[in-house]
Chains A and B, each alone.
Chain A
Amino acid sequence: MGVLLVIMFIVFVAIGVPISFALGVVSFVGIAGLPEIPNAVVFTKMFNGMNSFTLLAVPLFILAANLMNEGSITEKLIKTCNSMVGHKRGGLAYSNVLVSMIFAGISGSSQADTAGVGKIFIPSMEAQGYDKGTSVGVTAASSTLGSIIPPSITMVVYAGIANVATGALFMTGLIPGILLGIGMMLVVKYYAVRKNFPKSEKVPFKEVLKLTFQSLPALFTPILLIGGIVSGVFTPTESAAFACVYALLVGIFFYKTIKIKALPGIIIETLKLSSLSLFALATANALGELLSYYQLNIYVQEFFTSLSGGKTVFLLVIVAFFMFIGTFMDAVPAMILFVPIILPSSTALGISPIILGLIIVVTLALGLVTPPYGLCLLIASSISGITIEDAFKGTLPYFLSSIAILLVMVLFPDLWLSIPAFLFPALF
């Protein structure tokens, strides 16, 4: 039965059935194969999987991104970053990563980042002469940082399942997030000469200062948001609502670029992207239900408790396991299904649940660019209009650099906890 379902899924996806529908049909056929379970659970799970407080933040972050685009906040941010690094060979690619890092500090959803940053960067990179693979690749890869640099929806979900403080997990993600960004910039540097990336003219220093000043409200947002969460002005989920209100106010009153007339259009755009992502999440949840009824988690649990080889091997297997899961499943159902059963074995090995969370979150974030179920890759390629294969080819170098950094994290797990614990002792 299992093999049949896997083949069915692969064939459906390969011929071009939407991922969400392919997941739905496979889940249905799987549940139908269990005579004692009513088929209706496939559909009640689609509904109930979304009945989660944390997921409410998804459309909010997408709206925040759309408001920042409409209010030219993103554009100003991009201009500023370009003025700083644009004159280097591959300047736009550098600034793509840089903007994604700043965006990640505002948004907790990688999908929102892909859509927000990609809508502007992908066309402008292509216009400057970058190949489509690179423009899509850099955009998709760097938007994974959205789930790693705080705030982050996946971290909130993990913290809830594993009983760790959200603030501590957030701060643990900050440094690895920045490192991953730097790693991607190094890849840009490597290819800049080889692929002869374009560069822009140097912007006079005075102009750089002026642009920086203009985009202060945007540059300031991550500090405001992360600071607000850490010091406790609002909860992580509320930060999404705050980001929307902030972007709206800045757009209306500071830049005076958002017109009230434009609001319905912004909401429709938000509706479209949110429902595409969340409908895919809904059917991925149905698949999670199928796996629960087939007791896959019991086998996984047995597997992890039988692992020998200590911390490093354990974490390496975790990475491999979630990398595999991430190819066909969303981060949220994957964590709900597997984190509770992995946690005891991990704790027994002396791995802090925060570090386990960091490793899982980073792995699942990278899963956002691995096909077939890689929402960031799918969104980026749909903006550019290239096939997912080409998009993944373009993403691969940046993906591999992230894997390398992830492996370093696995090798020295305690280091990543001690730095934030030293910097923010109150949270740990």
Chain B
Amino acid sequence: MKKAVDFLQKLQIAAGTVFLTIFLVTVVFQVSSRYVGVTAPWTEEVEMYSFIWAVFMGAGAMVYEKRHFAFTSLNDLIKNEKIKRVLSIVISVIMLFFAVLMVVYGYQVTKQFWGYKWIVFPTLTRGITWMCLPISGATSVIYLIYLIKDDIEHIVKGDLK
């Protein structure tokens, strides 16, 4: 299972990197196109949506690495490894709650705005752009469940390091 979750996270980081690269290239293109005097109205939406996708993909992947900014004072105070694991589970469950909500409501708004189109590419639905919410949420759910399972296993096995 670890391998599969690791792979998922790598995939997500790769996706985020691709979106960030699209974003960077578009920004540089847009700035330079203005000096050359070319109109490129499509850049605005491409920039914005690839930027938002990059952020949500990155944020999801960082859940697995436990990199989201947090206070660790309480955790550092606790010496008992078992209690540490329990605290870790509590935190993961609270995060899981929010991640599940991201999936549920993200799916709802994606569906609701499916009929909205991009301005510059009228064939594209804006629903696609909203999909970063449920996807980021769903991947976070997977990571968190894995982290919780891992914590429980350690507690049960008594293997507390």
Query: A and B touching (C-beta < 8 Å)?
Result: yes
Which residues of chain A have a CB within 8 Å of any CB of chain B? 12-22, 24-25, 28, 39-40, 42-44, 46-47, 50-51, 53, 55-56, 59-60, 63, 234, 238, 241-242, 244-245, 264, 267-268, 270-272, 274-276, 278-280, 282, 371-372, 375, 378-379, 382, 387-389
- Complex interface: chain A residues within 8 A of B120 (CB): none
Given contacts A60-B27, A375-B69, contact A47 B52 (CB under 8 A): yes
B138 at the interface (CB under 8 A from A): no
Q: Return the 7 tightest CB-CB contacts between A and B, nearest first.
A: A275-B58, A18-B68, A279-B59, A378-B69, A18-B70, A275-B59, A40-B105
Give chain B residues whose Cβ lies under 8 Å from the Cβ of A12: 94
Known contacts A18-B95, A21-B95, A47-B130; A267 and B70 CB within 8 A of each other: no
Contact of A278 among B21, B28, B31, B55 (CB under 8 A): B55
Most buried by A among B24, B47, B69: B69
A121 CB → nearest B CB, Å: 20
- As a 0/1 sequence over residues 90 to 128 of chain B, the CB contacts with chain A under 8 angstroms (1 = contact) are 110011011001100110110010000000000000000
Interface string of B51-91 (1 = CB under 8 A from A): 11011111101100001111111111000000000010011
Pairwise interchain contact A275-B91, C-beta atoms closer than 8 A: no
Q: Write out the residue numbers on chain B whose beta carbons fall within 8 Å of the beta carbon of A50.
A: 51-52, 55
**Given the known A-B contacts A42-B105, A241-B27, are A21 and B98 also in contact in the complex, defined by CB atoms under 8 Å?**
yes
Q: Which residues of B contact A24 (CB under 8 A)?
A: 98
CB nearest to B129 among chain A residues:
A47
Q: Of A17, A53, A268, A372, which is within 8 A of B17 by CB?
A: A268
Q: Let me know if A276 and B58 touch, CB within 8 A.
A: yes
Contacts of A55 in B (CB 8 A): 51
Chain A residues with Cβ below 8 Å from B98 are: 21, 24-25, 28
Q: Tell me whether B20 is interfacial, beta carbon within 8 Å.
A: yes
B135 on interface, CB distance cutoff 8 Å: no
B57 touches A275 (CB 8 A): yes
B51/A20 in contact, CB under 8 A: no
Expressed in whole angstroms, the Cα–Cα distance for A274 and B55 within the complex equals 7
Residues from chain B with a CB closer than 8 A to the CB of A20 are: 59, 68-69
Cβ of B13 under 8 Å from chain A: yes
Max count, chain A CB within 10 A of own CB: residue among B52, B61, B67: B52
How far is A241 from B21 in the complex, measured between Cα atoms in Å?
13
- The answer to whether A13 touches B71, judged by C-beta atoms less than 8 angstroms apart, is yes
Closest Cβ–Cβ distance, residue A385 to chain B (whole Å): 9
Q: What is the interface of chain B, defined by CB distance below 8 A to chain A?
A: 13, 16-17, 20-21, 23-24, 27-28, 31, 47-48, 51-52, 54-59, 61-62, 67-76, 87, 90-91, 94-95, 97-98, 101-102, 105-106, 108-109, 112, 130, 132-133
Contact A59 B20 (CB under 8 A): yes
Question: CA separation between A372 and B70, bound complex, in Å?
Answer: 8
Most chain A CB inside 10 Å of its own CB: which residue of B28, B58, B90: B58
Could you give 27 example pairs across A and B, Cβ below 8 Å?
A13-B71, A16-B73, A17-B91, A18-B68, A18-B91, A20-B59, A22-B94, A40-B112, A50-B55, A51-B52, A55-B51, A56-B47, A63-B24, A267-B17, A268-B13, A268-B17, A271-B17, A274-B54, A274-B58, A275-B57, A275-B59, A276-B59, A276-B62, A371-B71, A379-B69, A387-B71, A387-B72
CB <8 Å contact, B68 and A43: no
Q: Is the CB of B51 within 8 A of A43?
A: no
Q: Is the CB of B71 within 8 A of A276?
A: no
User: Whose C-beta in chain A lies nearest to the C-beta of B96?
Assistant: A21
